[in-house]
RNA sequence: GGCGGCAUGGCCAAGUGGUAAGGCAAGGGAUUGCAAAUCCCUCAUCCCCAGUUCGAAUCUGGGUGCCGCCUCCA
């Protein structure tokens, strides 16, 4: 496939060309582990998984890194002065390290439930204090950063390209600033690399000072470059990360190394709920458990998210989730029908399968247009339902469906083909038994057998000329 | 105030100059012991207004609504 992606930095769709042939190195901004991520957060992580799966299938050697931020962020404007993690620790009357441990475990459980392939590294900020300190020292030595007491700030005027990613201009940032200016900084747009506060709970004694802790942006520069090199291929995050986070990462990384930092920046749009943003006051900040409580599988959510384009806002509604769940079920059903057709298919359809496969690939190549890719699958399904497929075409269609499953993650890890439960012969026996009961108009017995088969994932179709069955839903 | 983005049927969502993909839901009919599944049929002119064009959901201008960001700390 000839992949083309939209680059937030150039604001254009570009042909994908990794730094090193056959190899992809990518970094994803991960969660701040102070509180269980909500479904909106998982949109970004599912997108990262989509990239990962695509590159895996395309035969690239992938190195994927996602950070866990375990030194806090601000809760919101109202909670000034204290970071998210410390606030949560106080609220829950727990040690911050305990919070990190619990939330991280929850996060990994969620990823697993969503069918996300594990990244190769999940570095934590607090495990990389020396790397961050080294970066700060480099920036100070090279004149890109300055020290005030034991605080260290990046001088945005030392990097001419500051603002290129976000489109912000330093002068505008200054005039638009809503909050009071930190008098220590030479310019309001300068950002903290390293701070000091003797009263901080999470602090480190380093060459930078006795009571220091890192600024937010520095961790991603330090960890991405440690695991991926000074220059790497892809960096992703939510749209909220563009500024200031990624803008600052570029500045500090490129000034520290003198090399280009990231080739391709990709950002996912936010997930909205009921047409607006999620908010605690509306009670629509959902976690995976909220979906499960309503009878949905995390995989239904996965499908809802991935069949929408990552650069478009996606509106979450319960009705939409129900629609995604039904659609996924019908694909599962189709897989069962295809398995049957691989043995006793009829019709033609080679051309249609080829066409669908080409459309599927074309859509994905074009900046991951998963909507169109999924539509291609459904079009083939519709053709099959109307006209059937030859055995050979059914085999090819199964291959396409498996390919879609590899990339999008459609089906939960239930067995495919080798489904646990009844063997074909057993199914046939039960069906014969039910037919006998039906002939004798023993409806209770017939329905009981039907229920038994249904429970085993067997779908029966009572046709005028007999009973057909397939595995599915 | 600055920067960026979105607005397509009941719900979700592609399409970005050539006459509206796909999914879900809904209605009518066929079939059925009942049911499910399946089959047939029905279901949008693209937020509003004004332009450009032979032609616009797609371009331009102006509205309206929604979303992200604008660094004390992070």
Is the residue at A96 inside a domain? yes
| A347: Cα separation from own chain's centroid | 39
Is the residue at A26 inside a domain? yes
When mean pLDDT is compared across A72-86, A367-381, A390-404, the lowest value belongs to A72-86
Shared domain check, A22 and A168: yes
Nucleotides of strand B under 7 angstroms from a protein beta carbon: 1-7, 10-15, 21-25, 31-40, 66-74
Is the residue at A190 inside a domain? yes
* Nucleotide in closest CA–C1' contact with A154: B71
pLDDT, tens digit, for every residue of A171-187? 777 665 544 567 788 88
Do A45 and A233 contact (CB within 8 A), yes or no?
no
| Count: domains in chain A | 3
Rounded to whole angstroms, the distance from the CA of residue A34 to the C1' of nucleotide B42 is: 52
Rounded to whole angstroms, the distance from the CA of residue A176 to the C1' of nucleotide B10 is: 42
CATH number reported for the structural domain that contains residue A244 in this entry: 3.40.50.620
pLDDT, tens digit, for every residue of A421-471? 678 888 889 999 999 999 888 999 999 999 888 888 888 888 777 788 887
Is the residue at A274 inside a domain? no
Is the residue at A374 inside a domain? yes
* Nucleotide in closest CA–C1' contact with A331: B23
Shared domain check, A320 and A401: yes
Is the residue at A282 inside a domain? no
The pLDDT value given to residue A123: 95
Rounded to whole angstroms, the distance from the CA of residue A274 to the C1' of nucleotide B10 is: 14
Shared domain check, A219 and A317: no
* Nucleotide in closest CA–C1' contact with A384: B38
The pLDDT value given to residue A392: 95
Shared domain check, A113 and A158: yes
Shared domain check, A248 and A182: yes
pLDDT, tens digit, for every residue of A359-370? 999 999 999 999
- DSSP SS3 for A34: coil
Shared domain check, A356 and A235: no
Give dist(CA A222, CA A227) in Å, integer.
Answer: 9
Rounded to whole angstroms, the distance from the CA of residue A472 to the C1' of nucleotide B24 is: 19
Q: Which residues pair with A195 in a beta bridge?
A: A213
Report the protein residue whose CA lies nearest the C1' of nucleotide B25: A323
Rounded to whole angstroms, the distance from the CA of residue A241 to the C1' of nucleotide B71 is: 12
* Nucleotide in closest CA–C1' contact with A172: B2
Shared domain check, A165 and A130: yes
pLDDT, tens digit, for every residue of A266-275? 999 999 998 8
Shared domain check, A402 and A292: yes
Report the protein residue whose CA lies nearest the C1' of nucleotide B40: A386
Task: Provide the residue range defining the domain that includes A237.
Answer: 17-268
* Nucleotide in closest CA–C1' contact with A462: B32
Look at residues A141, A271, A152, A149 and name the one whose alpha carbon lies nearest to residue A217: A152
In sequence order, which residues have a C-beta less than 8 Å from that of residue A188 and are 6 or more positions away?
A: A173, A174, A177, A181, A182
CA distances from A437 to A293, A351, A430 (A): 38, 43, 11
Rounded to whole angstroms, the distance from the CA of residue A276 to the C1' of nucleotide B49 is: 26
Peptide bond into A406 cis (omega under 30): no
Is the residue at A384 inside a domain? yes
Shared domain check, A201 and A129: yes
Rounded to whole angstroms, the distance from the CA of residue A314 to the C1' of nucleotide B50 is: 31
Do A187 and A156 contact (CB within 8 A), yes or no?
yes
Is the residue at A416 inside a domain? no
Shared domain check, A428 and A404: no
pLDDT bin (cut points 50, 70, 90) of residue A76 is very low
Rounded to whole angstroms, the distance from the CA of residue A343 to the C1' of nucleotide B28 is: 36
- Cβ burial, residue A270 (10 Å; 0-12/13-18/19+): middle
Report the protein residue whose CA lies nearest the C1' of nucleotide B66: A276
> Of A235, A268, A301, which residue sits at a domain end?
A268
The pLDDT value given to residue A174: 66
Phi, psi dihedrals of residue A274, rounded to the nearest 5°: 50, 40
What is the residue-averaged pLDDT of chain A?
88
Shared domain check, A138 and A80: yes
Shared domain check, A321 and A396: yes
Phi, psi dihedrals of residue A265, rounded to the nearest 5°: -105, 130
pLDDT bin (cut points 50, 70, 90) of residue A196 is confident
């Amino acid at each position: 496939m000839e992949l083309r992606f939209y680059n937030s930095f150039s604001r254009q769709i570009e042909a994908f060309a990794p730094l090193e042939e056959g190899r992809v190195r990518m970094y994803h901004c991960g969660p701040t582990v102070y509180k269980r991520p909500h479904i909106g957060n998982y949109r970004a992580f599912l997108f990262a998984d989509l990239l990962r799966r695509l590159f895996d299938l395309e035969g690239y050697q992938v190195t994927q890194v996602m950070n866990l931020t375990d030194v806090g962020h601000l809760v919101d404007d109202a909670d000034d002065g204290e970071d998210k993690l410390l606030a949560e620790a106080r609220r829950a009357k727990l040690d911050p390290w305990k919070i990190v441990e619990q939330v991280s475990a929850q996060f990994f459980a969620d990823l697993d439930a969503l069918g996300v392939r594990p990244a190769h590294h999940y570095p934590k900020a607090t495990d990389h204090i020396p790397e961050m300190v080294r970066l700060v020292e480099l920036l100070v030595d090279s004149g890109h950063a300055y020290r005030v007491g034991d605080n260290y700030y990046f001088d945005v005027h030392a990097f001419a390209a500051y603002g290129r990613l976000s489109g912000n201009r330093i002068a505008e940032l200054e005039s638009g600033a809503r909050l009071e200016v930190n008098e220590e900084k030479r310019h309001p747009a300068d950002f903290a690399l390293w701070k000091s506060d003797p009263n901080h709970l999470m602090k480190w004694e380093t060459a930078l000072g006795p009571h220091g802790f890192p600024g937010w942006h520095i961790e991603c520069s330090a960890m991405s470059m440690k695991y991926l090199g000074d220059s790497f291929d892809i960096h992703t995050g939510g749209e909220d990360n563009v500024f200031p986070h990624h803008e600052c990462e570029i500045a500090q990384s490129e000034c520290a190394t003198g090399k280009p930092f990231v080739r391709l920046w990709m950002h996912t749009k936010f997930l909205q709920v009921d047409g607006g943003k999620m908010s605690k006051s509306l009670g629509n900040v959902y976690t995976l458990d909220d979906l499960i409580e309503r009878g949905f599988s995390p995989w239904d959510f996965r499908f809802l998210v991935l069949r929408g384009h990552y650069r478009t806002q996606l509106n979450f509604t319960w009705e939409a989730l129900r629609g995604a769940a039904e659609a996924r079920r019908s694909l599962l059903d189709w897989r069962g029908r295809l398995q049957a057709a691989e043995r006793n298919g009829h019709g033609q359809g080679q051309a249609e399968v080829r066409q669908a496969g080409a459309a599927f690939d074309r859509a994905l190549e074009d900046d991951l247009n998963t909507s169109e890719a999924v539509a291609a699958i459904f079009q083939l399904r519709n053709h099959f339902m109307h006209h059937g497929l030859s055995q050979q075409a059914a085999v090819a269609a199964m291959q396409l469906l498996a390919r879609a499953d590899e990339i999008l993650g459609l089906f939960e890890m239930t067995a495919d083909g080798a489904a646990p439960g009844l063997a074909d012969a057993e199914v046939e026996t039960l069906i014969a038994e039910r037919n006998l009961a039906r002939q004798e108009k023993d409806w209770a017995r017939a329905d009981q057998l039907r229920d038994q088969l249904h429970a085993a994932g067997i779908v029966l179709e009572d046709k005028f000329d007999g009973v057909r069955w397939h595995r599915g839903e």
